[in-house]
Amino acid sequence: MKKDNFSIWLLAATVMLMTAYFMFEASIFTELWDGDRSKISMLILAIGVFFFAKLGRMIYIYDKNKSHLIVKYDLDAGFEASQTVMTLGMIGTIIGFSMMLGSFNGVDISDINSIKQLFSIATDGMATALYTTLSGLSVHLILRTSYWLFERNITQ
**156 pLDDT more than 80:** no
Question: In one letter, which amino acid is 34?
Answer: D
pLDDT at 143: 94
Segments making up each domain of the chain, as ranges: 5-155
The span from the CA of 86 to the CA of 109, in Å, is: 37
User: Which band of pLDDT confidence, cut at 50, 70 and 90, is reported for residue 67?
Assistant: low
Burial pattern 89-105, b for ≥16 Cβ within 10 A else e, equals bbebbebbeebbeebee
Other C-beta atoms closer than 10 Å to the C-beta of 27 total 11
Span 95-105, pLDDT tens digits: 999 988 887 77
Span 102-134, pLDDT tens digits: 877 777 777 788 787 788 778 888 999 999 999
Span 69-86, pLDDT tens digits: 666 778 889 999 999 999
pLDDT at 38: 92
Of 10, 92, 11, 89, residue with least CA distance to 48: 89
Of 34, 37, 29, residue with least CA distance to 95: 37
User: Which band of pLDDT confidence, cut at 50, 70 and 90, is reported for residue 1?
Assistant: very low
What pTM was estimated for this model as a whole?
0.86
The span from the CA of 142 to the CA of 32, in Å, is: 18
Span 6-61, pLDDT tens digits: 888 999 999 999 999 999 999 999 999 998 989 999 999 999 999 999 999 888 88
pLDDT at 63: 83
